[in-house]
């Protein structure tokens, strides 16, 4: 894919109030500390094979913008960035999040990251972009990119087959030793292992992913709206983001959901037209709840990152959320699952303890048997010695 040029984007003259541009202000994250972009690099894929991969994003053109110029980023009705500029913003957020001199990796979660560090990262973003999106959105997006960076470092350098000391010494390039050591010790702790287990369990429950790639749902919906001249509903967006290039659904489960959504939508539209009132947005919202269940707190299906039910549905959000009884039942189910998992872990530990105890008893029995054999052999030798001495004493003298 050809790299997008900044000349294709909206650039505005937007100096920040009272600022004096100084390239040294970006010394913590400037291009001097980021390797040159490589379009394709060779990566060892194991078994003697290599694969091609794109190089690290550097956005050199963005760093070379004239003083006072910034990339203009617009937003949609729910506060998400849209347009080609949003893609550049997302790439730059990734660069900032990977600057672990500003956003260290030795915090257990993004919530624990000091606000001073978050604000410093935010200022770096505002130095290059004129933004319509909120600071809260940017901080949430930075948090996700930061977690992604930590996950990559863990997957690449925190090898399970290494000893703790070897893990501590396997420091990734560009990461401070004390940050890495703190992160390794947390990942190796019971709390860190429990958190990883929860994440793996949640991931296993996901039946399929989407086909949008790095492009956000908000950008896809915006591009489709520009192309067709009409707004894109959530059901249409689900179809777009769960369909392969050849037009087929990504999985049989996705195909089944698409079919149910279409059937339910047709049913609701027929009923609404009979009553003389058709609100397509409300119909689609209810169809999705009927097919996929109530929305979860903190997110809305087919709307991408950081869109909450309150923000999207407004005063009507409660009708698309779990009822009190559903919430209580969900909590009961969650606690049951946790209890079952705990009981399984206890049973596994008990089985391990019993196995070790049996192995210890077997070793002791084997040791006792060997000791008994040695004692029997020693006794037999003594008896033979006594018999030999007696024979010598009883022999007649010549």
Q: What is the pLDDT of residue 278?
A: 66
Q: What is the pLDDT of residue 168?
A: 95
> Residues 182, 167: contact at Cβ < 8 Å?
no
Q: What is the pLDDT of residue 203?
A: 80
Q: What is the pLDDT of residue 259?
A: 94
Q: From first to last of the 398 residues of the chain, give the pLDDT tens digit.
A: 445 566 678 888 865 544 443 333 333 333 333 333 333 434 344 455 555 555 566 688 888 888 888 999 999 999 999 999 999 999 999 999 999 999 999 999 999 999 999 999 999 999 999 999 999 999 999 999 999 999 999 999 999 899 999 999 999 999 999 999 999 999 999 999 988 988 888 888 777 788 888 889 999 999 999 999 988 889 999 999 999 989 999 999 999 999 999 999 998 888 877 776 668 888 888 898 889 888 877 788 888 888 888 888 876 667 666 655 555 555 666 677 777 777 888 888 888 888 888 888 888 888 989 998 888 888 888 888 888 888 877 766 65
Question: Judging by beta carbons within 10 Å of its beta carbon (0-12, 13-18, 19+), is residue 105 exposed, middle or buried?
Answer: buried
pLDDT in tens, 376-392: 888 888 888 888 888 87
Q: What is the pLDDT of residue 30?
A: 35
Q: What is the pLDDT of residue 80?
A: 93
Closest-CA residue to 221 (of 265, 291, 147, 284)? 284
The residue behind tokens 């509903």 is 233
Q: What is the pLDDT of residue 319?
A: 66
Dihedral angle, C-alpha 250, 252, 253, 256, nearest 10 °: 110
Residue 272 CA to chain centroid, in angstroms? Answer: 41
Q: What is the pLDDT of residue 23?
A: 39
- H helical segments located in the chain: 60-63, 84-97, 115-126, 135-157, 164-169, 177-188, 190-205, 217-228, 234-241, 252-275, 280-292, 309-313, 324-394
Q: What is the pLDDT of residue 10?
A: 86
Q: What count of other Cβ atoms lies within 10 Å of the Cβ of residue 221?
A: 24
Q: What is the pLDDT of residue 121?
A: 96
Q: What is the pLDDT of residue 270?
A: 84
The residue behind tokens 């079952």 is 340
**What are the strands, taking DSSP E only, across 10-115?**
11-13, 41-46, 49-53, 69-75, 81-82
pLDDT in tens, 100-109: 999 999 999 9
Q: What is the pLDDT of residue 146?
A: 97
3-state secondary structure of 340: helix
Q: How far, in Å, CA of 161 to CA of 159, rounded?
A: 6
3-state secondary structure 268-322: HHHHHHHHCCCCHHHHHHHHHHHHHCCCCCCCCCCCCCCCCHHHHHHHHHHHHCC
């Amino acid at each position: 894919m050809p790299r997008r040029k900044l000349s294709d984007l909206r650039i505005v003259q937007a100096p920040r109030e009272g600022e004096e541009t100084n390239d040294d202000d970006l010394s913590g994250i400037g291009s001097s500390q980021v390797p040159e972009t490589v379009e394709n690099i060779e990566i060892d894929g194991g078994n003697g094979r290599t694969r091609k991969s794109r190089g690290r994003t550097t956005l050199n053109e963005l760093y070379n913008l004239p003083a006072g110029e910034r990339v203009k980023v617009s937003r949609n009705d729910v506060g998400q960035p849209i347009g080609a500029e949003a893609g550049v913003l997302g790439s730059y957020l990734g660069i900032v999040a990977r600057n672990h001199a500003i956003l260290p990796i030795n915090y257990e979660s993004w919530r624990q990251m000091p606000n001073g560090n978050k604000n410093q990262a935010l200022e770096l973003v505002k130095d290059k972009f004129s933004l319509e999106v909120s600071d809260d959105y940017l901080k949430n997006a930075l948090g996700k990119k930061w977690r992604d960076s930590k996950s990559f470092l863990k997957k690449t350098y925190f090898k399970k087959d290494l000893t703790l000391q070897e893990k501590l010494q396997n420091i990734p390039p560009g990461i401070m030793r004390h940050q890495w050591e703190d992160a390794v010790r947390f990942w190796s702790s019971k709390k860190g292992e429990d958190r990883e287990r929860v994440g793996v369990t949640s991931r296993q429950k996901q039946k399929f992913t989407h086909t949008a790639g790095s492009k956000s749902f908000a950008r896809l919906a915006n591009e489709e709206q520009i192309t067709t001249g009409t707004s894109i509903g959530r059901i249409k967006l689900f179809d777009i983001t769960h369909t392969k290039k050849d037009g087929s659904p990504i999985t049989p489960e996705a195909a089944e959901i698409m079919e149910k959504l279409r059937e339910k939508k047709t049913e609701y539209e027929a009923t609404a037209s009979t009553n003389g009132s058709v609100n397509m947005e409300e119909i689609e919202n209810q169809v999705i709840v009927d097919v996929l269940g109530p929305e979860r707190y903190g997110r809305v299906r087919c709307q991408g990152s950081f869109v909450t039910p309150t923000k999207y549905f407004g005063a009507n959000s409660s009708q698309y959320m779990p009822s009190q009884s559903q919430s209580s039942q969900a909590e009961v189910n969650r606690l049951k699952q946790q209890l079952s998992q705990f009981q399984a872990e206890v049973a596994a530990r008990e089985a391990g303890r019993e196995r070790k105890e049996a192995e210890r008893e077997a070793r002791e029995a084997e040791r006792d048997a060997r000791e008994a054999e040695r004692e029997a052999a020693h006794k037999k030798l003594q008896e033979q010695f006594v018999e030999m001495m007696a024979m010598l004493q009883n022999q007649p003298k010549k």
